[in-house]
C-alpha cells in the first residue's frame, strides 16, 4: 500500500506570480519520496540500505528558497526540451524558431524559465500524484499550446514517472527528470565507489559546447563501454576522464526495458532504471563545485552525485537521423521511466 500526504512547502514570491508550493509525500514500506508542485521536483527520496535504515539519496534543499535561487535543476522535470539545442535554433514546417541561449551558445533544458521553474496543478491519486500545466504557444519561443501531464506513482520499491503531452502545433518535446543521486546518501563526498552499468552499444560524441557532432559512435573498446559494470572512480582514473555528460543510445523500442543500474556496494543500495525512451544522459556532476549549500547545510562538491536522465537524444530537432523529437497535433507524447530500488 502507498500512503499519500499533502502539505504546504512554501509560498512563491509575488514577483514570481505568488501561489502556494505544495509537497506530496508518497510512502511505501521501502521507499519514501517527496515531490514539489514547483517543477514537479523530487525533493527527497529515501530508500533502505542492507542494514534496513533509510537514507535520502537525492540532492536538493530543505526550503523553497533554495529551489528559487539558481541551481543545476536538482530533482526537477525539465522541458519543453531536455538537454541542449544547438544555437537555440530549429525549423519546423519551414519556420525558424529562436530560443533563449542559457548554456553558452546553446539552449538548455527549456530555456530561461523552463518547466522546472513553474508551478504545476496537482491531483492526488490513490498511489501518487499527477501534475498538469498548459505551456502556452510561444512560451520560451516554442510553438503551440502544449498540455503536459507528469504522473508519479509509487508501488512498493518502484517509482514510476509518466510524461504525457498534446500540442496544437508541431513542436519539439523531450521531457526528463533531473534528479541527482548519491546512493551512499545525499551529502556524501563523492560517487567514486558506485558501480555503473548502462545497456547501450553506442553513444553520441559531442563538440566543446556539448552538442552532439551527429556521429553515432560504437562504445566497443572505448571509455563509454559500460555494458559490463564498472566502479566509477577507477574507470574515470583508468581513462583519464573528467566525468561523463553524454547521451547513451538505447535500443529503439517503445517497450519498457532495463537500461541502467547503479549500485553502492558499501550500503548494498541498487537503483535500476527502466524506460521507454530512446536515450539516457549519464552525467557525473562535473559542474558541482561546492558553492551550493544543500540539505542539512551540506555542500555538494564535484562528482558528489550522478544523473541518469532518460530522454530523447540531444539536439534531435536539428539532426534528421536522430529519433524524431517532434510532436504533431492529434498525436500524444507518452513515455514512462521506472526507478526500482533494492538492497542486497
What confidence tens digit (pLDDT) does each residue in 26-40 have? 999 999 999 999 999
Give the list of residues 6+ apart from residue 237 with CB closer than 8 angstroms, or none. Answer: none
Give residue 170's pLDDT. Answer: 98
Give the pLDDT mean for 269-279: 98
What confidence tens digit (pLDDT) does each residue in 23-82 have? 999 999 999 999 999 999 999 999 999 999 999 999 999 999 999 999 999 999 999 999
For residue 315, pLDDT beyond 90? yes
The annotation status of 274 as a binding-site residue, yes or no, is no
Q: How confident is the model at residue 252 (pLDDT cuts 50, 70, 90)?
A: confident
For residue 220, pLDDT beyond 90? yes
- Whether 178 is catalytic is yes
Looking at the DSSP bridge assignments, the partners of residue 134 are 147
Give the pLDDT mean for 235-256: 95
Q: For the sheet with 245-249, list strands across it.
A: 217-218, 202-203, 245-249, 279-283, 307-311
* E strand or H helix that includes residue 236: helix 232-238
Alpha-carbon distance of 7 to 35, in angstroms, equals 11
For residue 253, pLDDT beyond 90? no
Give residue 314's pLDDT. Answer: 98
The annotation status of 164 as a binding-site residue, yes or no, is no
The annotation status of 245 as a binding-site residue, yes or no, is yes
Residue among 178, 194, 303, 335 flagged as catalytic: 178
What confidence tens digit (pLDDT) does each residue in 137-169 have? 999 999 999 999 999 999 999 999 999 999 999
Residue among 22, 139, 272, 309 flagged as catalytic: 309
Give residue 17's pLDDT. Answer: 87
Give residue 16's pLDDT. Answer: 87
Greatest CA span in the chain, whole angstroms?
Answer: 59
Calculate what percentage of the chain has a pLDDT beyond 70.
100
For 25, 34, 58, 140, 343, the CA distances from 52, given in Å and listed in that order, are 20, 20, 18, 45, 8
The annotation status of 316 as a binding-site residue, yes or no, is no
| Residue span of the structural domain in which 255 resides | 3-343
Q: Pick the closest to residue 284 from 337, 226, 207 (CA basis).
A: 226
Average pLDDT for the chain: 97
Q: How confident is the model at residue 130 (pLDDT cuts 50, 70, 90)?
A: very high
The annotation status of 182 as a binding-site residue, yes or no, is no
Give residue 226's pLDDT. Answer: 98
Give residue 116's pLDDT. Answer: 97
Residue 202 sits in a domain whose CATH number is 2.70.98.10
- Whether 140 is catalytic is no
Domains in the chain, number: 1
Q: Pick the closest to residue 35 from 59, 6, 69 (CA basis).
A: 6
For residue 254, pLDDT beyond 90? no
Amino acid at each position: 500500500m502507498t500512503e499519500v500526504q499533502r502539505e504546504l512547502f512554501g509560498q512563491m514570491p509575488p514577483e514570481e506570480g505568488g501561489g502556494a508550493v505544495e509537497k506530496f509525500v508518497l510512502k511505501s514500506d521501502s521507499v519514501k519520496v517527496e515531490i514539489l508542485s514547483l517543477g514537479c521536483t523530487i525533493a527527497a527520496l529515501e530508500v533502505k540500505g542492507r542494514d534496513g535504515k533509510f537514507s535520502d539519496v537525492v540532492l536538493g534543499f530543505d526550503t523553497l528558497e533554495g529551489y528559487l535561487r539558481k541551481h543545476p535543476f536538482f530533482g526537477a522535470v525539465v522541458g519543453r526540451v531536455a538537454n541542449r539545442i544547438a544555437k537555440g535554433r530549429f525549423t519546423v514546417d519551414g519556420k525558424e524558431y529562436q530560443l533563449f541561449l542559457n548554456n553558452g551558445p546553446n539552449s538548455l533544458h527549456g530555456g530561461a524559465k523552463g518547466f522546472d521553474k513553474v508551478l504545476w496543478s496537482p491531483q492526488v491519486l490513490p498511489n501518487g500524484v499527477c501534475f498538469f500545466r498548459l505551456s502556452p504557444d510561444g512560451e520560451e519561443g516554442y510553438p503551440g499550446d502544449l498540455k503536459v501531464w507528469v504522473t508519479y506513482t509509487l508501488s512498493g520499491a518502484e517509482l514510476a514517472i509518466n510524461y504525457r503531452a498534446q500540442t496544437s502545433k508541431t513542436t519539439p518535446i523531450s521531457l526528463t527528470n533531473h534528479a541527482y543521486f548519491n546512493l551512499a546518501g545525499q551529502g556524501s563526498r563523492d560517487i567514486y565507489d558506485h558501480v555503473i552499468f548502462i545497456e547501450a552499444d553506442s553513444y553520441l560524441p559531442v563538440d566543446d559546447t556539448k552538442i552532439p557532432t551527429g556521429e553515432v559512435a560504437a562504445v566497443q573498446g572505448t571509455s563509454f563501454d559500460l555494458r559490463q559494470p564498472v566502479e566509477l572512480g577507477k574507470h574515470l582514473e583508468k581513462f583519464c576522464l573528467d566525468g561523463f555528460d553524454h547521451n547513451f543510445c538505447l535500443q529503439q523500442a517503445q517497450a519498457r526495458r532495463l537500461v541502467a543500474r547503479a549500485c553502492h556496494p558499501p550500503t548494498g543500495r541498487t537503483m535500476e532504471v527502466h524506460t521507454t525512451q530512446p536515450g539516457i544522459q549519464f552525467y557525473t556532476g562535473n559542474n558541482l563545485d561546492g558553492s551550493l549549500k544543500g540539505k542539512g547545510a551540506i555542500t555538494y562538491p564535484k562528482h558528489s552525485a550522478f544523473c541518469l536522465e532518460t530522454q530523447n537524444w540531444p539536439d534531435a530537432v536539428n539532426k534528421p537521423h536522430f529519433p524524431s523529437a517532434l510532436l504533431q497535433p492529434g498525436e500524444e507524447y507518452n513515455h514512462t521511466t521506472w526507478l526500482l530500488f533494492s538492497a542486497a
